Amino acid sequence: MYSFKNDYSEGAHLRILNALIETNLEQDEGYGEDRYSQKAKEFIKDKLGRPDVDIHFISGGTQTNLIAISAFLRPHEAAIAVSSGHILGHETGAIEATGHKILSVEGRDGKLSPTDIQEVLDGHPDEHMVKPKLVYISNSTEIGSIYSKQELQSLHDFCQKNQLILYMDGARLGSALCSEENDLQLSDLPALLDAFYIGGTKNGALLGEALVISTKSLKEDFRYHIKQKGALLAKGRLMGIQFLELFRDDLFFDLAIHANKTAGMLREELKILNIELLTHSPTNQVFPILPNSVITVLQNKFSFHIWEKVDSDTSGIRLVTSWATKEEEVVSFIEELRSLLT
Amino acid sequence: MYSFKNDYSEGAHLRILNALIETNLEQDEGYGEDRYSQKAKEFIKDKLGRPDVDIHFISGGTQTNLIAISAFLRPHEAAIAVSSGHILGHETGAIEATGHKILSVEGRDGKLSPTDIQEVLDGHPDEHMVKPKLVYISNSTEIGSIYSKQELQSLHDFCQKNQLILYMDGARLGSALCSEENDLQLSDLPALLDAFYIGGTKNGALLGEALVISTKSLKEDFRYHIKQKGALLAKGRLMGIQFLELFRDDLFFDLAIHANKTAGMLREELKILNIELLTHSPTNQVFPILPNSVITVLQNKFSFHIWEKVDSDTSGIRLVTSWATKEEEVVSFIEELRSLLT
Amino acid sequence: MYSFKNDYSEGAHLRILNALIETNLEQDEGYGEDRYSQKAKEFIKDKLGRPDVDIHFISGGTQTNLIAISAFLRPHEAAIAVSSGHILGHETGAIEATGHKILSVEGRDGKLSPTDIQEVLDGHPDEHMVKPKLVYISNSTEIGSIYSKQELQSLHDFCQKNQLILYMDGARLGSALCSEENDLQLSDLPALLDAFYIGGTKNGALLGEALVISTKSLKEDFRYHIKQKGALLAKGRLMGIQFLELFRDDLFFDLAIHANKTAGMLREELKILNIELLTHSPTNQVFPILPNSVITVLQNKFSFHIWEKVDSDTSGIRLVTSWATKEEEVVSFIEELRSLLT
Amino acid sequence: MYSFKNDYSEGAHLRILNALIETNLEQDEGYGEDRYSQKAKEFIKDKLGRPDVDIHFISGGTQTNLIAISAFLRPHEAAIAVSSGHILGHETGAIEATGHKILSVEGRDGKLSPTDIQEVLDGHPDEHMVKPKLVYISNSTEIGSIYSKQELQSLHDFCQKNQLILYMDGARLGSALCSEENDLQLSDLPALLDAFYIGGTKNGALLGEALVISTKSLKEDFRYHIKQKGALLAKGRLMGIQFLELFRDDLFFDLAIHANKTAGMLREELKILNIELLTHSPTNQVFPILPNSVITVLQNKFSFHIWEKVDSDTSGIRLVTSWATKEEEVVSFIEELRSLLT
């Protein structure tokens, strides 16, 4: 059974494993103060065009979100997120467990706009309510959509004007930046965001996200927060070596391009089959709406998530591709589907 | 410069890296529900002789301590630890950050006894003070000492009688169990402890600790706590594969034996040189007391921690050996030391 | 300017102040262990017909909610509340600050039903999400509605079946129980709820709520939680004396009856004036919809909250009556309103 | 049985109760925004000579400590306190429950010095440990001693130099300032401390402490923290009216003078009886060392705490006087004691 369930079903890109082997017996400092981590940070700063940002490697997305948000906010301050936002429904209350409320807004296409945020601000005028302070967005979003440069610019401007922190969850940032519809560059991000992370786990690493903090006031003492939340790995080199490999050339982007390409293959074929999609996703997630009977048969050969019920006969499913997706399996999925529909 | 600074200066045992490569492109479930993790748990349960325990793989020691302790305690309950305990001074207030006080007691040789705990209980009679509920011990301890079976049995009995949870930090459990002075077996532990962890990070893994919960009431919903604290790795297989390799035969113990052996070499030679030790450590840490002038010269060729000032002329240093320590470097350290002393 | 803004604009019923004076110089135990508090608890237990419940006096509603909810829940567990619930939007994230998410549901008339809760349970199947565990309701609700005995019974049955804790915020319980439409008695509550509080602050006391815990497993060590949250008043007698006065006869109910009576006067007159109400409230809150021009003039003589915009010309306002509301001011409000409308 | 157990055994000074009655039926704003609270703050600012400080009324000492400390600190920062400090052992882990460690130091006479704090700083050099940030002191201390102006000045200077927040628990500040040995004035405090509170509960009020924040950066959004912790009383006027009465003339000081006077009577007579004291306390607590047999008989007529065992035959007891202590009861205590000793 082949899996389109997510983008973390396999191990890591082989270059990464080889790098681990090559460096294996060299002794180095613990807790992320090793040479590989330092070098990896320099490569990323280079690509960002911003030597002044701070970069921290953290093992996963929920971990990164909870450390960053709890470090950035004072106790009475809250985050704002779109209702499909990962921190709202899929992190077991990790943010609330650090003491902070998340204010949910409907949004559109999985994205937030200044109008959405203004409504939250209007509804929170005084000390009987939390103080909205941080805007959480994802790119690509949980439903595969992406932010345009213009959209991000207006969010940035709005947040600046209202003294809000703009934070981006980049679990699938690679796929977003490599989307054909994308007009953002990695180097645009530090100026548009107070902080964001570059996802490694879902783009070819064994584990690891690179948190980038561009706003000076948010940088202070950040390693204390990582350690306090249990996330300062003794062998931090494990993440340094991986990000070094991903960013010493363009491997990070090459892997995302492959994920997008295979998702694109799926989309094109689905279009030919006249299958409607739940959302407009130009990234590595595809959400076709299929008859339940077809879904049941497909599940014998492929694994994927049933995303939501559409009506009594049909449901939207989620197909995720990755750096490791085999093109022949995409072909074989489409063939199976075609045979079921005709 | 060769490092005796800690037991996490290198990567992982080569068998572990090879296992990662062999399994790399197989697809499997995320979040620790993969076949490798399941298999690894079975091997460990076998060695524990207890199929009924629950096992969870967590990325590091501080992470494991904070998840376990905050999951086990109610808000008003506190942990008790010896003053040198890792959670007290070396985890950036990780336990307190989850809302729990740690009550410090002096102890002896880095260890706690029923008498120590009874004093804490006597001093906390009512609701104006926290309620002591969990006893935290380390084995081997932060200063290299180990608990005998008899000592652990009396702690167990005392805790049972007083409805206290007995929890053991096993960051260096391998070294403890393989010490020549040890009379405990891995399979003794589930009956003596409510929960404990088997440390991988400091014994040959890239990262990972295996938390073992033997008391039924502490097992419920535990995965929620791991996820909420950001520690449920998407590619949980990374830890499963490592523990599978460590426990499918006796690799875990073989690595600890090597660490202890090289520490033993150090201890023997130091004895010949008439050098006093700060603590009695039969495990992979050695704490010789040396003239400051000698220490300064040694630091040109070797790295290690200066543990504490003894008097104005001498200090205790900490030498740590590991699965990766080269015997020729131990020899060369001793030769250097001998030449400095004579 | 007369205020219909809330039910805590005045001090306390005079009998309460007199009781404070009469007992003033008697020495007694601190921290709620005084004779007055003990006696007050006995009177309340008598009226509840349940000598086995535990009762704790706590200074205010938010304080009570946060202590109870954080004491009842384990870290990964969440509360469920209707979107207008006080804990969701009007307590500055007090519940989240103790680490717990609140799951919001739409509900109906400010109330929750088993169907609402079932939907939440269905949407939270595993450890990637919080575990819904406590159902928070208010009676009377934030918009003045009340639960019938039948409604409470089905919530109770549903919660029992699903191992959920049912908790009621009774800030305005007096008004609810004394409503003409009410069919619940105070003595029904311990069997229907795991815990609830009887509000003093909004029904004639200077401060104080009586938290009643009827489910045994929730009682243990509760005073630790009160103390830890800073709510164990040194002179706990201050609350004991007040509740003693409220419950040694029927003062508590008499005060609520007065509040309801004056609200009823408002409702009747508004009906005569053909003024529509925002919500059906048979308690001490009335929400008439008025032209904005009328509201502006009314504000010259009366203070009240503008609750919500209805359309561009009209808004709903909130009028609150209390134990202290003067009937002549109700009359004078209606006269003013009538003159403005004609 | 007469009680010397504490300074909160009675209600409130009669002038306070009368003020509550006089203002009882006036309507006013809720949540501390009433005229009485405003006026009380003005009176206190006048006595402080500092119109720019912020003042907040909070119901009790633990509540005030936990709100202030959690509002002032970031998650990784810790408080420093002397081992007898109230927050360390007598507040049920209230500070830790907000996520912050308290670092305990031995101190001297219940007081901290710059040397003590420097040692803590030296022991906390990096992110593997908490960052010491706030110095907690009490005046008078838990064992009755007081800080001289010189001592407070050097703490202030040290804290400024090391970017530490200096916070004073003033539960018994009245007694400290009115001690014969005191050389501090209320108006000295804002310049010497970043924040402190003026205790009402133990000096004649029913409840209430006045938190004074003099450092600008600590003032922002403070009411959010009070509300979030459940301490923004709906009828905040209750505290405003009391502090208005205490500070519209010198009632606050007069009450403390009476407490000190009666404690002084005890001390003088104990000296005549050649009874040694546990601590040097020039305030309203006296700690005589008495034979256990004498203590047992005294307990038939008087209640007090046995503070600590001195040797097998003698113990130190704690006698506390207050604004309400009757001089004839002091006389009668001494007579009883004298008769027992001769």
- Residue pointed to by tokens 């604290």: B229
User: C2-7+252-341 adopts what CATH topology?
Assistant: Aspartate Aminotransferase, domain 1 (3.90.1150)
- Kindly list the residues from chain D whose CB atom is less than 8 angstroms away from the CB atom of residue B123: 89
Chain C touched by B71 (CB under 8 Å): yes
Asked if the Cβ–Cβ distance from B90 to D128 is below 8 Å, we say yes
Looking at the DSSP bridge assignments, the partners of residue A282 are none
Instruction: Tell me the pLDDT tens digit for each residue of A46-83.
Output: 999 999 999 999 999 999 999 999 999 999 999 999 99
Check residue B287 and give its pLDDT: 98
- Six-digit token pair at C275? 């003024």
- Kindly list the residues from chain C whose CB atom is less than 8 angstroms away from the CB atom of residue D14: 21, 24
Check residue B155 and give its pLDDT: 98
Instruction: Tell me the pLDDT tens digit for each residue of C4-33.
Output: 999 999 999 999 999 999 999 999 999 999
Q: Are D198 and D184 in contact (CB under 8 A)?
A: no
The Cα C61–Cα C40 span in angstroms is 19
Instruction: Tell me the pLDDT tens digit for each residue of D123-162.
Output: 999 999 999 999 999 999 999 999 999 999 999 999 999 9
The Cα C301–Cα A97 span in angstroms is 46
Chain B touched by C15 (CB under 8 Å): no
Domains of chain C by residue range: 2-7+252-341, 14-249
How many CB atoms within 10 Å of residue D150?
10
Check residue A342 and give its pLDDT: 83
Above 90 in pLDDT, residue A323?
Answer: yes
The Cα B242–Cα B238 span in angstroms is 7
Looking at the DSSP bridge assignments, the partners of residue B58 are B209
**Band (A277; pLDDT cuts 50, 70, 90):** very high
ipTM of the complex: 0.97
Q: Which DSSP symbol is given to D65? A: H
Check residue B314 and give its pLDDT: 97
- Six-digit token pair at D119? 């040692």
The Cα B190–Cα A215 span in angstroms is 49
Closest chain A C-alpha to C88 CA, distance in angstroms: 9
**Band (B218; pLDDT cuts 50, 70, 90):** very high
Beta-carbon contacts of C308 under 8 Å, excluding residues fewer than 6 positions away, are C278, C315, C316
**Band (D48; pLDDT cuts 50, 70, 90):** very high
Instruction: Tell me the pLDDT tens digit for each residue of A188-222.
Output: 999 999 999 999 999 999 999 999 999 999 999 99
Which of B89, B123, B127 is facing D92, going by the closest CB pair? B127
DSSP string computed for C181-234: T----GGGHHHH-SEEEEE-GGGT-SS-EEEEE-SGGGTTTHHHHHHHTT---T
Q: Which one, of C216, B7, D76, lies nearest residue A229 by Cα?
A: D76
Check residue B75 and give its pLDDT: 98
Give the mutation candidate from C233, C239, C325, C329 for the D interface (greatest D CB count, under 10 A). Answer: C233
Instruction: Tell me the pLDDT tens digit for each residue of D217-238.
Output: 999 999 999 999 999 999 999 9
**Band (D96; pLDDT cuts 50, 70, 90):** very high
Q: What is the mean pLDDT of residues B256-285?
A: 97
Check residue C319 and give its pLDDT: 98
- Judged by DSSP in three states, C2 sits in strand
Instruction: Tell me the pLDDT tens digit for each residue of C69-81.
Output: 999 999 999 999 9
Check residue B342 and give its pLDDT: 83
- Contact residues, C window 236-265, toward D, CB-based 8 Å cutoff: 237-238
Instruction: Tell me the pLDDT tens digit for each residue of C136-167.
Output: 999 999 999 999 999 999 999 999 999 999 99
**Band (C342; pLDDT cuts 50, 70, 90):** confident
Q: Are B129 and A261 in contact (CB under 8 A)?
A: no
Q: What is the mean pLDDT of residues D324-339?
A: 97
The Cα D299–Cα A65 span in angstroms is 58
**Band (D19; pLDDT cuts 50, 70, 90):** very high
How many CB atoms within 10 Å of residue C134?
23
The Cα B171–Cα B208 span in angstroms is 10
Asked if the Cβ–Cβ distance from B225 to C75 is below 8 Å, we say yes
Q: How many CA atoms lie within 13 A of A334 on its CB side?
A: 21
Above 90 in pLDDT, residue B113?
Answer: yes
Q: Chain D: residue nearest C233 by CA? A: D60
User: A14-250 adopts what CATH topology?
Assistant: Aspartate Aminotransferase; domain 2 (3.40.640)
The Cα B129–Cα C273 span in angstroms is 60
Confirm whether pTM is higher than 0.95. yes
Query: Can you point out the beta strands (E) in chain A?
Result: 2-3, 54-58, 77-82, 102-105, 131-138, 165-169, 195-199, 209-213, 285-286, 289-291, 302-303, 305-309, 314-320
Q: Chain A: residue nearest B98 by CA? A: A98
Chain centroid to CA B255: 15
Q: What mean pLDDT is reported for chain C?
A: 97
Q: Which DSSP symbol is given to D216? A: G
Chain B touched by A230 (CB under 8 Å): yes
D14-251 belongs to which CATH class? Answer: alpha beta
Instruction: Tell me the pLDDT tens digit for each residue of B140-176.
Output: 999 999 999 999 999 999 999 999 999 999 999 999 9
Q: Choose the CATH number for C14-249 among 3.80.30.20, 3.40.640.10, 3.60.21.10, 1.25.40.10.
A: 3.40.640.10
- Judged by DSSP in three states, B84 sits in coil
The one-letter amino acid code at C341 reads: L
- Six-digit token pair at A165? 């922190």
**C-alpha pair distances (Å), C135 with each of B36, C103, C163:** 39, 10, 11
Check residue A139 and give its pLDDT: 98
Q: What is the mean pLDDT of residues A283-287?
A: 98
- Six-digit token pair at B42? 């079975």
Q: What mean pLDDT is reported for chain A?
A: 97
Residue D85: left if φ>0, alpha if ψ -120 to 50, beta else—which one?
beta
The Cα D237–Cα C8 span in angstroms is 10
Closest chain B C-alpha to C79 CA, distance in angstroms: 16
Go through chain B and tell me how many residues it has: 342
Q: Which DSSP symbol is given to B279? A: S
- Kindly list the residues from chain B whose CB atom is less than 8 angstroms away from the CB atom of residue D92: 76, 127-130
How many CB atoms within 10 Å of residue B157?
13
Beta-carbon contacts of D59 under 8 Å, excluding residues fewer than 6 positions away, are C59, C230, C231, C233, D207, D208, D209, D231, D233, D239
Above 90 in pLDDT, residue C258?
Answer: yes
Asked if the Cβ–Cβ distance from D227 to A75 is below 8 Å, we say no
The Cα B137–Cα C123 span in angstroms is 40
Instruction: Tell me the pLDDT tens digit for each residue of B85-96.
Output: 999 999 999 999
Q: Are A187 and A49 in contact (CB under 8 A)?
A: yes
Q: Chain D: residue nearest B99 by CA? A: D97
Chain D touched by B306 (CB under 8 Å): no
The one-letter amino acid code at B132 reads: P
Fold match between B2-7+252-341 and B14-249? no
**Band (C217; pLDDT cuts 50, 70, 90):** very high
- Six-digit token pair at B278? 């700060």
Check residue D342 and give its pLDDT: 83
- Kindly list the residues from chain A whose CB atom is less than 8 angstroms away from the CB atom of residue C130: 92-93, 96
- Residue pointed to by tokens 């689905």: A270
- Six-digit token pair at D144? 């009755």
